[in-house]
Amino acid sequence: MPERKKNSAVAEPASGRPVGALRRREFFGAAAGASLVVRQTASAAPARDGARPDPAGSSVRETLETPIADRYQVIVAGGGPSGFIAALAAVRSGAKTLLIERYPFLGGNGTAGLMTSYNGFRNQHPPEALQTVKGIPAEYIAALVREGGLCDDEGNANTYPQARHDIKNGDLVYSIGFDAEVAKVVMFQMIQKEGVSLLLHSWICGPLLDGLRVAGVLTESKSGRRAFAADVVVDATGDGDIAARAGAPFMGPSDQGDRMGMSLMYRLGGAPAGLSGIRIGDKVVRWGPGFSGDGLDAAVLTKAEVESRLKLWEQFKKMRTDPGMGGVSLLQTATGVGVRETRRILGEVTVTEQDAIRGTRFPDVVAISSNPMPSYHGKRYFFEHEGFDIPYRALVPRKVEGLVLTGRCISCEQAPFQSARSMAPAMAVGHASGCAAALAARKGVPPRKLEVRELQTLLLQQKAELRLPQ
């Protein structure tokens, strides 16, 4: 048998810097016709009575070559609300950009998870005069308005009581309910219009590493295992998969605070007037059964899916026996149970609980979160200010180069995480992350060394809200 070699692919990305071998984590690619080597380890259970060794104690070592399919200045890993906005921002800021998503559509928990309410464009309670999320996220909402993709005028009123604002003229309310199917279409429209390269049906399974620098990503799909090189990668996986697998330190629920639970969203048809939820006509999206557990454990996720769906079905059958509910139908359940919290990657700065409560202002602010903390010591905590700053340093992971964080994995303690993880502030963070990645790639500097004033100027040019003094 010919000798098989480890992946030692070397590529030259747009910056001219080498991608290099995948040394630190030894991620190996699967080429057509290649094979696996299985070695028994010392921890394996001993064979008894001539039986074959237990494979559970074995290890599988892939010694396969992975082709580098293409090279980009920026790769955004994940197409949820934050990643979608990050990709638009990167292209608009002049970078050749690839957006990679595992589902056949974009939108993450907003579409796949049926969480059809974008919360946090401003504080839910006074003081709420300042719309804290503007820029490209607001352009996206305007496109939803044009396509008729918002819920009924009062469709969110029972779910999220809030002051009225003129959404159709760009003055956004705290929470905006939307039609998930229209959202999928609008996202594709915007991606095409801006010229973002898009790759769907692709699972991002690890980073390409050049020493301590993330130099691209590895994917698995129907096309096989492929690598994509990049000057800068934006980790929009939600769980911080790229950062964690590249060696960045992170916090989990056991480190600080309680884990927010999972839940299964569902949509009813024929819903009578007065039934609470996110309403469009007689169709209402509602919160289904909850589940507690580690959203990074496939066995836990499997149990969550099975138990939540079986429990929902029993609840639905009982619901139809209630007065006036006999004509209700279960139209849809979420593609997957909604996971709210897993990893929070440690950055150059970590936003603290007191930062959120006091409304701390940072000189390197790149986004603002005004969303309440929904489960702060068991209660919904409304800020007495118009939002706390999210500094750029919270988007830059420790130890790892070539990577910008976005979405719910940014560096913050559990309390501010509850606020910033909501989809409106997450979109604002995505705007900042995309601009930062594009600037770093174009200038050939690590994101850690990026001039923040230049980033802030670019964000303001793209109509983001930063509250910077004039």
Q: Are residues 326 and 395 in the same domain?
A: no
Q: For position 453, what pLDDT does the model report?
A: 97
**pLDDT by 10-residue block (mean), the chain, 470 residues:** 36 38 35 38 51 67 85 98 98 98 98 96 96 98 96 73 90 96 98 98 95 96 96 98 96 70 96 93 95 93 97 97 96 96 96 97 98 93 97 98 97 96 98 98 98 98 92
Q: Are residues 88 and 190 in the same domain?
A: yes
**Token digits for 166?**
């003129």
Given 333, 353, 375, the domain boundary residue is 333
Q: Are residues 143 and 183 in the same domain?
A: yes
- Residue 331 CB-density burial (10 A; 0-12 exposed, 13-18 middle, 19+ buried): middle
SS3 call for 140: helix
CATH of the domain at 365: 3.50.50
Given 333, 359, 378, the domain boundary residue is 333
Domain coverage including residue 372: 73-150+174-199+249-255+343-461
Confirm if 340 and 373 have CB atoms less than 8 A apart. Answer: no
Residues in the chain: 470
In angstroms, how far apart are the furthest CA atoms of the chain? 80
Tens of pLDDT, residue by residue over 371-404, are 999 999 889 999 999 999 999 999 999 999 999 9
**Token digits for 37?**
């080597």
Long-range residue pairs from 301-308, CB within 8 A, at least 24 positions apart, any chain: 301/336, 301/337, 301/339, 304/262, 304/337, 305/336, 305/337, 308/262, 308/263, 308/264, 308/337
Closest Cα partner for 119 from 193, 156, 174? Answer: 174
Classify the phi-psi angles of 381: left when phi > 0, otherwise alpha if psi is within -120 to 50, otherwise beta: beta
Given 295, 311, 333, the domain boundary residue is 333
Q: What is the pTM for the complete model shown?
A: 0.88
91 φ/ψ angles, rounded to the nearest 5 degrees? -65, -45
Q: For position 252, what pLDDT does the model report?
A: 75
Q: How many domains does the chain have?
A: 2
Q: Are residues 115 and 82 in the same domain?
A: yes
Q: Are residues 289 and 385 in the same domain?
A: no
- Residue 227 CB-density burial (10 A; 0-12 exposed, 13-18 middle, 19+ buried): buried
